[in-house]
Amino acid sequence: MSVPATIGDYHVHTQLCGHAEGELAAYVERAIALGMTEMGIADHLPMFVHWEPSLTMAMEQLDGYVTAVRSLSARYPEIRILLGVEADYFAETEERVADLLGEHDFDYVIGSVHFLGDGFGFDQSRNKQEIEARGVDAIYRESYRLVARAVGTGLFDVVGHLDLPKKFGHRPTDAAAIDVCARDALAAIAAAGTAVEINTAGWRKPVGEAYPAAALLASAAALGIPLTFGSDAHTPGDVGADFERAVELARAAGYAATLRLSDRGSVALP
Ligand code: ZN
Ligand code: ZN
Ligand code: FE
Ligand code: FE
């Protein structure tokens, strides 16, 4: 397998989050083996509410994470390694997250909605039954509303897996109404100047399609929303997974360029 060398994988996790495997160096070595010249580690930032050890690193591990990622650069001069993080959005912890992010010189922050306002984790397989009980449409609606709020804070550079509620294959009943919600979220993303990612993990989940869906991606392109690529790797072998296919998806959606996060430069898609 090869990946387009100009496409960096900016969504890579580490063991610290409690649900990923492999040494940090192995993720980097995989990216190098694929020919990448830039990548970013973006593990889950600790959460101030609804936290469990299997969800994100603990607060006391954050300094070590920053040091570990930064120290990779000296060891692997052949690739530029950015220090990123994937932060959850909760309205009630906006200020604490802002302060926490401000304590470290992160190169970028992926903002992700994995939880509804009451802390319900709709992407966790243990919650599949409750998704149906709560109503799939209600979950889509609230997740898009939270994405719109999240980007309004200005804390995030990239929106992670925009249409995550589809993970287990759940489709909206009222597709037209949910599409309106998605487009409202995209309008907020565009207004905030935030990027979206093509997250290839969706191809490895029951839904069997990347996030976001092709139609949403086309809307994002039409709005001029910058695009990054991420594997959401939780194991070293998934770094760069399906990036060739992701580039095809981006091109079909109308994208001609991708956002390089090291200098916020626009780079032509291969
Ligand atoms: Zn994760
Ligand atoms: Zn995520
Ligand atoms: Fe995630
Ligand atoms: Fe992730």
Taking only the tens place, the pLDDT of each residue in 94-151 is 999 999 999 999 999 999 999 999 999 999 999 999 999 999 999 999 999 999 999 9
- Which run of H or of E encompasses 87? strand 80-88
C-alpha to C-alpha distance for 77 and 150, rounded to whole angstroms: 35
* Nearest ligand to the CA atom of 232: 4
Name residue 68's amino acid: A
How close is the Cα of 173 to the center of ligand 2, in Å?
Answer: 24
What DSSP state is assigned to residue 46? P
How close is the Cα of 157 to the center of ligand 3, in Å?
Answer: 15
How close is the Cα of 167 to the center of ligand 2, in Å?
Answer: 11
How close is the Cα of 11 to the center of ligand 1, in Å?
Answer: 10
Instruction: Give the pLDDT score at 76.
Output: 98
How close is the Cα of 78 to the center of ligand 4, in Å?
Answer: 25
177-227 pLDDT tens trace: 999 999 999 999 999 999 999 999 999 999 999 999 999 999 999 999 999
- Which run of H or of E encompasses 265? strand 265-268
C-alpha to C-alpha distance for 127 and 259, rounded to whole angstroms: 34
How close is the Cα of 114 to the center of ligand 2, in Å?
Answer: 6
Instruction: Give the pLDDT score at 262.
Output: 97
Instruction: Tell me, rounded to whole angstroms, the distance of Cα 229 from its chain centroid.
Output: 9
How close is the Cα of 172 to the center of ligand 4, in Å?
Answer: 23
* Nearest ligand to the CA atom of 161: 2
pLDDT band at residue 2 using 50, 70 and 90 as cut-offs? low
Instruction: Give the pLDDT score at 116.
Output: 98
Entry pTM:
0.97
How close is the Cα of 39 to the center of ligand 1, in Å?
Answer: 17
Domain ranges of the chain: 9-268
| CATH class of the domain comprising 9-268 | alpha beta
C-alpha to C-alpha distance for 9 and 29, rounded to whole angstroms: 13
How close is the Cα of 112 to the center of ligand 2, in Å?
Answer: 5
149-177 pLDDT tens trace: 999 999 999 999 999 999 999 999 999 99
C-alpha to C-alpha distance for 104 and 49, rounded to whole angstroms: 20
Give the 3-state secondary structure of residue 121. Answer: strand
63-103 pLDDT tens trace: 999 999 999 999 999 999 999 999 999 999 999 999 999 99
How close is the Cα of 129 to the center of ligand 1, in Å?
Answer: 21
* Nearest ligand to the CA atom of 231: 4
* Nearest ligand to the CA atom of 42: 4
pLDDT band at residue 3 using 50, 70 and 90 as cut-offs? low
218-244 pLDDT tens trace: 999 999 999 999 999 999 999 999 999
15-73 pLDDT tens trace: 999 999 999 999 999 999 999 999 999 999 999 999 999 999 999 999 999 999 999 99
Instruction: Give the pLDDT score at 4.
Output: 73
